[in-house]
Amino acid sequence: MKRYLSNLIEEIIRRAETSSHILLFLDYDGTLVPICKEPSLAKLSLNDKRLLEKLSRIPWFSTGIISGRSLEEIRSLVGVKGLFYAGNHGFEIAFREIVWVHPALNSFKVELQEITRKLKYHTRGIDGILVEDKKETVSVHYRKVTGRTPGEIMKTISMVLEPYAKRFTVTRGKKVYEVRPNIDWDKGKAVVKLSQLLDLKTKPLKIYIGDDQTDEDAFKVLGEDDISIRVGYKKGSKAQYFCKGSSEVLRFLKKLVMLNNSKK
């Protein structure tokens, strides 16, 4: 992955212009908004919301947000009707008037509540730690932690999870560990599921933009003719292009809106 988005943006726009339908997937934290020390501070500006509203009204676009946050939270944060939303890395999907939840999750609920309580208890003495209950998963944020290494925090998580080792797994993001049910599901499978739900008559051009390791699962399922963009350069990424930050992502989205105007 060596191609810088800003240097090749016109090439990508030309590819989009020839498509009969575009299926646009957008991560939230680190993609549409910069990463914040407090997750609650990562909010879209009014202008950025208006930009997403414009995208939602383009008839040959299907646009959605696919996030690690809970479905309830990401829908509230973005608050744009006409988009589809996937929360908890695709375990929950809101599509039109339908809310789909992975059917295997129900059998993990009681244990996940126990794990959440134990994580809060065993990390209560760590200044800056945040244990976030997302109903279907639980995140341990350590961006504000000082005096403890990520390895020490992971050691505490592993201790809590020991009785549940076969049932739950831990993934690592940007200054966060996430405990999730050990189900064969990720953002890539959510992309496939959403593509099926849309049931488009013609094959769409898929565009996926994300910044984290969890987005790599989505990059992997895209076809050679699709477009994948990683926010922040990472050696070995499966994305075709990279950009430097959320401001460049929003600039690209504005180009897509302008493309719609030229098609009228």
Q: Which of 27, 211, 215, 217 is catalytic?
A: 27
Angle, CA of 139, 145 and 150, to the nearest 5° = 65
Find the farthest-apart pair of alpha carbons in the chain and give their distance in angstroms, rounded. 59
The structure tokens listed for 262 are: 């030229």
Angle, CA of 172, 175 and 178, to the nearest 5° = 40
DSSP state string for 91-160: TEEEETTEEEE-GGGGGGHHHHHHHHHHHHHHTTTSTT-EEEE-SS-EEEE-TT--S--HHHHHHHHHHH
Residues 6 or more apart in contact with residue 129 via CB below 8 angstroms: 123, 140, 141, 142, 144, 145, 153
Is 133 in the active site?
no
Give dist(CA 170, CA 85) in Å, integer.
23
Q: Which residue has the tokens 């939602």?
A: 56
Amino acid at 54: K
- Phi, psi at residue 172, to the nearest 5°? -115, 130
Give dist(CA 121, CA 119) in Å, integer.
5
Provide the annotated active-site residues.
Answer: 27
